[in-house]
Amino acid sequence: MATCDFCNGTTESGTRYPAEMVQQAALTGFRPSGLEVIYGVARQLGLTEIDPGREWVEQVMADRSDWLTCPSCVRELEDHLAGRRRRGPAQSPPPKYRSGDLGATGGSGNSPLVVGLTLVLILVVSAVILLLIS
């Protein structure tokens, strides 16, 4: 099994995108849907200093490795890229990979993003618990 670099979900197969393509998508406003959930919870708790979108863009811009995406995240990214591609030159689709092609870890090396988002989620849940027991 492989792990999606956007949602951390497991997938039998995935699509690998070059870092430059994900960076361009991030610069033109793409954010994985999971970020909206984290930001929404943080905003409801009054934690306005947490900005998963900004942190995600910073991670994307710093990362030079390919990004592996599950079928659900591929659709999100492709929907975003389709709008940009209509205005620009056509690009060839990224290569497809089976989980056996991805090496022992299954991902493409973007685990700091997943770890960072997990830590944000843990902080948000901790804040909720503290509010409930106060």
Per-residue pLDDT of the chain (134 residues; tens, 9 = 90+): 888 888 878 888 889 999 999 999 999 989 888 777 767 777 788 777 777 778 888 889 999 999 999 998 899 999 998 885 433 334 444 444 444 444 333 444 555 556 566 667 777 777 778 778 87
pLDDT at 41 (0 to 100): 75
Q: Where are the domains of the chain?
A: 2-133
Q: Cα angle vertex 100, ends 97, 106, to 5°?
A: 85
User: What is the structure's pLDDT at 128?
Assistant: 79
Instruction: Please name the amino acid found at residue 59.
Output: Q
Phi, psi of 74 (to 5 degrees): -60, -45
Q: What is the pTM of this model?
A: 0.58
